[in-house]
Amino acid sequence: MFVTLPEFEYHRPQTVSAALDLLDQYGGGATVMAGGTDLLVDMRYRIRVPEHVIDLKGIEELGKLTFQPGEGLVIGATVTLNRLLEYDAVQSRFGALHDALEDMCDDQVRNRATLAGNLCTASPAADCAPPLLVFDAKVEVASPAGRRMVDLPDLFTGVKETSLGTDEMVTAVHVPEPPPDVQSRYLKGKRSSEDCAIVGVAALVARWDDPRDRVVRLAYSSVAPTPVRVYDVERIFRQDKPWGDLVEEAVSAALNRVSPISDVRSSKEYRVHLIDVLTRLALRELLGGRR
C-alpha cells in the first residue's frame, strides 16, 4: 500500500452530460468518484490507477433524494449513506435498507460514502445490495447514448465487476414503493460490533395473510461472487403448508442458490451455518406471532 495517491487529473463537472463527455473523452483512463471511500483506498493499493478522476459531487441533479407515493425512492448517485439513513421514508418503509445503513461502516465514513458507490464497487459483501434486491431496485445508468434502467441483479457480474461500460455511469438508484404492509429486515453475521458482512440476509414480507398473493423475498451478501436474491422463495411461501415446512424449504432453496467460500473472515462451513440461522431469525423477527 502507498501513502501517496497516484497522479491524476481531477475534474468536477457541473452536469451529467459534462461528466459523460469527460468519460467519453478519456475512455478507460477515467473513473467517476462519488464518496471516494472505496476509490481512494483502491488507488493507494494501486488496484485502480485512473488518469482522470471525475468527481460527481458538483452535479446538482445527482444529489437529489426523493420519495413519491407510487414512484418510490429515487436516490441520486452522490447521496451519502448518512443522508439516506436520516431520510424519514427510508426508516418508515424500507426497514431492511435502514438496518443495513445503520450497521454499515461507521458514522464518519457514512458522511462520505454513497449508496451508488457501494453498488458500483460491487463487493460481494455490499451491505446495501441485499435490501435493494428484495425491494426490486433498479439502477439508472447514463451514457452518451442516453439513459437506461438496469435491474440491480444485472448490474453485478462478478467479484467487484459490473456490467457498466467505460462510458457509462450510475446516476441514481430507483426503489419502487413497496406494498403498504411491507416489513423487512437486514441481519448480518459479524466478527465484532463493526464489521462488513460475514453473511448478510435481507428478508421482506408483504401481504402475509393472503397465501396466494403473499410476498416473501430473501437476498444475501457475502455468500457468492455477487450479492444474490433467491427467487424460489416467493413460490415456496405461496404453498399451503405449515410454517415450519415453508421455512425449511426456503433455507434449502437459499443454500442451493449460494456458493460461499472460505476466506480470512470466515470458513465456508460457518457461512453455511449463518445462512441457515440468520434466514430463520430474520423471518421469525418479521412474522413474530403472525405465522
User: Judged by CB under 8 A, does residue 2 bind other proteins?
Assistant: yes
Which window, 18-26, 159-167, 219-227, 240-248, contacts other proteins (CB under 8 A)? 240-248
User: Judged by CB under 8 A, does residue 48 bind other proteins?
Assistant: no
**Angstrom distance (rounded) from CA 271 to CA 259:** 10
User: Judged by CB under 8 A, does residue 207 bind other proteins?
Assistant: no
Selected binder of other proteins within 41, 47, 149, 261 (CB under 8 A) = 41
Degrees, nearest 5: CA angle 211-213-215: 90
Q: How far is the CB of 242 from other proteins (least distance, A)?
A: 11
Set of cell numbers at residue 232: 424460489
Set of cell numbers at residue 106: 461507521
The answer to whether residues 286 and 184 touch, using CB atoms and an 8 Å cutoff, is yes
**Angstrom distance (rounded) from CA 38 to CA 118:** 8
User: Judged by CB under 8 A, does residue 255 bind other proteins?
Assistant: no
Q: How far is the CB of 247 from other proteins (least distance, A)?
A: 7
Selected binder of other proteins within 195, 232, 234, 249 (CB under 8 A) = 195
Amino acid at 249: E
Selected binder of other proteins within 30, 96, 205, 274 (CB under 8 A) = 274
Radius of gyration of the chain (CA): 19
User: Judged by CB under 8 A, does residue 70 bind other proteins?
Assistant: no
**Angstrom distance (rounded) from CA 34 to CA 15:** 14
Q: How far is the CB of 111 from other proteins (least distance, A)?
A: 5
Q: 193: Cβ–Cβ under 8 A, 6 or more apart, which residues? A: none
Which window, 144-152, 163-171, 221-229, 242-250, contacts other proteins (CB under 8 A)? 242-250
Mark residues 79-118: x for contact with other proteins by CB under 8 A, - for none: ---x----------------------xxxxx-xx------
Which window, 88-96, 149-157, 158-166, 260-268, contacts other proteins (CB under 8 A)? 260-268
Q: How far is CA 21 from its chain centroid? A: 27
The answer to whether residues 258 and 224 touch, using CB atoms and an 8 Å cutoff, is yes
The answer to whether residues 259 and 224 touch, using CB atoms and an 8 Å cutoff, is yes
Q: Across-strand partners of 11? A: 54
User: Judged by CB under 8 A, does residue 252 bind other proteins?
Assistant: no
The answer to whether residues 201 and 220 touch, using CB atoms and an 8 Å cutoff, is yes
- Total residues at the site for other proteins (CB under 8 A)? 52
User: Judged by CB under 8 A, does residue 208 bind other proteins?
Assistant: no
| Residue 57 DSSP SS3 | helix
N-term to C-term CA, the chain? 52
**Angstrom distance (rounded) from CA 291 to CA 278:** 18
Q: How far is the CB of 6 from other proteins (least distance, A)?
A: 7
Selected binder of other proteins within 144, 211, 243, 290 (CB under 8 A) = 243
Selected binder of other proteins within 69, 146, 180, 193 (CB under 8 A) = 193
Which residues contact other proteins by CB under 8 A?
1-10, 12, 35-37, 40-41, 44, 53, 55, 57, 82, 105-109, 111-112, 189-196, 243-244, 247, 264-267, 270, 273-274, 277-278, 280-281, 284, 291
